[in-house]
Amino acid sequence: MRLKIVIAAALGVVGVGLGIWGWNYSRTVWIPAGHVGVLYDASGGLEKQVITPRAVLVGWRQQLYIYPTRLKIAVYTQDASEGESKTADGILITTSDNASTVFDIAVVYHVNKEDVLTVFNAFGPIPIEDIQVQHIRRAVKETVNDIGTKYDYFEFMGAKRAEAGELIQQGLQSRLHPKGLTIDKVLIGHAYPTQDQLAKTNAKVNSITGVQIAGFNQELQAKQQQAQNKTALAQADARAIKGAQANPLSLDMIDLELDEMAVDRWNGHLPTVRDRPGQTLILGKDALPVTKGKN
């Protein structure tokens, strides 16, 4: 009888121990690396201790809130299959030309360990995922309303997008840093323009392309003209050099041409009168035809 009582008592102790272990196991939460946490008690309020990565036993009427100290990305995209909320939650941006376009925006942020209590006091007892969906997104919308009007639609679609992202980043930092969130980077991603905006974009791209092509053609023509001018100068220099080299040959050719003319004018008769040293010649008119040769 006593043995049965002892066994029953032992089983009871084991059962209680297993129950306590099971309850503790079910109430144990791990804070992963790169995160910290704080405990909130429904009766006593927020505990001031910031808990580093480890297993934490969350008691009855207590809730553990975990915040990322490493970089975390909040993605607001129109693609319902992406992002954390799995809904179309892209950010609508209105530019200076009154064009409203939805953009994907990614916000890279983290929480410094010393700012954890500030975050809790600013946003209350809600998880970081809800802070992303509700509060960070609202801050992004408010900031882009201020920044969007500094640019027109085409600047936001192209060259000025990175610059606008930096201004949005600065705006978010000023809004959220007092609430304990550190904004590291803002990226403006894919755009979802309307059909009318697409048509205007294509028209402007074609216009810019046409102007660029015309400029390239003018530049090409100018370079071709420069090449032609240089070629003409080179040819002129070559002719001058060739003429200088051929000048003695040209004088010889002139002498040969004069000799050829003299042969053509000879009538085939030697002169009837030949001069001698110290001799005076008196020619009559009959001798002139012989000396004149052919007319």
Q: Say if CB 39 and CB 58 are below 8 A apart.
A: yes
Domain boundary among 150, 169, 193: 193
* 83 CB burial (10 A radius; 0-12, 13-18, 19+): buried
Mean pLDDT over 10-17 rounds to: 54
- Residue 276's pLDDT is 59
- Residue 295's pLDDT is 45
Higher pLDDT, 227 or 88: 88
Band the pLDDT of 29: cuts 50, 70, 90.
confident
> Is residue 23 pLDDT above 50, yes or no?
no
Residues 246 and 167 in one domain: no
Per-residue pLDDT tens for 149-194? 998 888 888 788 889 999 999 999 999 999 999 999 999 988 888 8
DSSP 83-97: SSS-S--PEEEE-TT
Domain boundary among 193, 226, 253: 193
- Residue 159's pLDDT is 80
- Residue 290's pLDDT is 47
Q: Does residue 138 lie within any of the structural domains?
A: yes
Domain boundary among 154, 170, 193: 193
> Is residue 242 pLDDT above 70, yes or no?
no
Band the pLDDT of 211: cuts 50, 70, 90.
low
Q: Does residue 226 lie within any of the structural domains?
A: yes
Residues 132 and 171 in one domain: yes
Residues 30/32/35/40 CA torsion (nearest 10 deg): -10
Residues 141 and 248 in one domain: no
- Residue 219's pLDDT is 73
Band the pLDDT of 199: cuts 50, 70, 90.
confident
Q: Does residue 102 lie within any of the structural domains?
A: yes
Range of the domain at 257: 208-265
Band the pLDDT of 135: cuts 50, 70, 90.
very high
Q: Does residue 151 lie within any of the structural domains?
A: yes
Q: Does residue 5 lie within any of the structural domains?
A: no
CATH number, domain of 98, equals 3.30.479.30
Residues 171 and 216 in one domain: no
- Residue 291's pLDDT is 46
As a whole number of angstroms, the distance between CA 49 and CA 37 comes to 9
- Residue 21's pLDDT is 45
Residues 99 and 138 in one domain: yes
- Residue 223's pLDDT is 72
Residues 179 and 212 in one domain: no
The mean pLDDT of the chain is 77
Residues 128 and 232 in one domain: no
Residues 230 and 163 in one domain: no
**Long-range CB contacts (< 8 A, 24+ apart) of 201-210?**
201/154, 201/157, 204/154
Residues 162 and 251 in one domain: no
Residues 75 and 136 in one domain: yes
- Percentage of the residues of the chain whose pLDDT score is greater than 90: 32
Residues 183 and 213 in one domain: no
Q: Does residue 32 lie within any of the structural domains?
A: no
Residues 59/62/63/68 CA torsion (nearest 10 deg): -70
Higher pLDDT, 109 or 56: 109
Residues 6+ away with beta carbon under 8 Å from 276: none
Tokens of 215: 């400029």
Q: Does residue 152 lie within any of the structural domains?
A: yes
> Is residue 80 pLDDT above 50, yes or no?
yes
Q: Say if CB 104 and CB 77 are below 8 A apart.
A: yes
> Is residue 17 pLDDT above 60, yes or no?
no
Domain tally, the chain: 2
Higher pLDDT, 88 or 187: 187
Q: Does residue 158 lie within any of the structural domains?
A: yes
- Residue 253's pLDDT is 62
As a whole number of angstroms, the distance between CA 115 and CA 106 comes to 22
Residues 136 and 173 in one domain: yes
Band the pLDDT of 111: cuts 50, 70, 90.
very high
Q: Does the global pTM surpass 0.95?
A: no
Number of other CB atoms surrounding residue 140 within 10 Å? 22
Q: Say if CB 215 and CB 209 are below 8 A apart.
A: no
